[in-house]
Copies of this chain bind each other. A is one copy, B any other.
Amino acid sequence: MPEAPTIYEVARHAGVSIATVSRALRRPDDLREETRERVLRAVAELGYVPSGPAHGLATGRTWVLGLARADLHDPEVEEGHETLLFADEVLRGMEWAARQAGYAVLLATADQLWRDFDLELAGKTDGMVVLARSVSAEVLERLARRVPVVVAAGPDVPEGIDHVSVANSEGTAAVTAHLLEDHGAERLAFLGGPPDSPDAASRFNGYRAALAVAGRPAPGRPDLAADFTEGGGRAAMRAYLADGRRPGAVVCANDQMAVGALAALAEAGLEVPDDVLVTGFDDIQLARHVSPPLTTVKQPMRQLGATAAELLLRRIDDPLVPPRAMVLNTRLVVRQSCGCQEDDDHPTAKE
């Protein structure tokens, strides 16, 4: 790196002023063709690339969007892959939308324990997307004082902040209705998530709503619950069966627990879907590979990221637009664990 050339070198090389160089790059139409080409040639010859900081300082914009997502505690852990995948997919969607608008994406991984990150990162961006519960309410508030913020899939969004979330409740409602209406399921049970998870709570609510719609009694709390992990799901299901219970269908609050439940059911000699129907939530990659392939509710992860980015860009453009809350649809993905024969999918929910 022989010291990156600046706009001054290019100007000298092309025999013009630095203003002209800037124009050749940013508003080519303002220049006479011959001048423009001369400048562009100099740019190419020198391998000139404008300094991001200088550009940013002069325009008052960084042209960068930040994403705050949670870190995994121990860099070596293999569990929690799903959380990661979720964030990766959101990132993908976000980057896609950002790029359309000429923005790049900067990563700000939040410490899982403190639920915060170096705020100085925010100074490098024009706005940030905060994913799920990656930062604390207090950090969120401080952050929002400095740059526009959009919360994605997060609970408890403070007044006045844009956010996008997923129709969790409608998702489980749809899959439950499918079980009820299309398979005449009886003796349903719900395998819930951790008590402090708002997602788990909404999913349970959707389940209850579907039962109510069908005129069935709905329980006040999940019949069994675990911590969203495969192992937890297996243990919970084992204990449930050990009590002598024999559900006709198990609606699970996520796929990993459903996979665990499948294992426990198999251990107990129960056939899915012949003896029991099982459904999940998320549509992780594994869902289609277990046996039988898992009927589940697909989360629109990429769309979540893309939508968050769009809301953010909109607010950057005009800080005064009224804040918006969006809810994205899930999609029912029918495979065999619900008793269906062939793959198929039905859309669900609302905006």
Contacts and interface: CB of A to CB of B under 8 A. Distances in A.
Interface string A203-242: 0000000000000000000000000000000000000000
B75 A96 contact: yes
Interface in A51-107: 51-57, 62-64, 72, 75, 81, 84-85, 88, 91-93, 95-96, 99, 104-107
B104 A105 contact: no
- When all copies of this chain in the complex are counted, the total is 2
Interface residues of A, number: 53
Given A95-B109, A124-B64, A286-B286, A145 B47 contact: yes
A302 B75 contact: yes
Interface stretch (A115-123, A164-172, A189-197): A115-123
Interface string A140-184: 001001111000000000000000000000000000000000000
Q: Which of A53, A104, A124, A289 has the most CB of B within 10 A?
A: A53
Nearest to A125: B52
Interface of A is mostly: helix
Contacts of A120: 49-50, 52
A22 to B, nearest CB: 13
A211 to B, nearest CB: 32
A123 B52 CA distance: 5
A261 to B, nearest CB: 15
A104 B107 contact: yes
A53 B47 contact: no
A93 B84 CA distance: 13
10 contacts: A52-B56, A52-B120, A52-B125, A53-B53, A53-B56, A64-B124, A81-B285, A85-B85, A91-B107, A104-B106
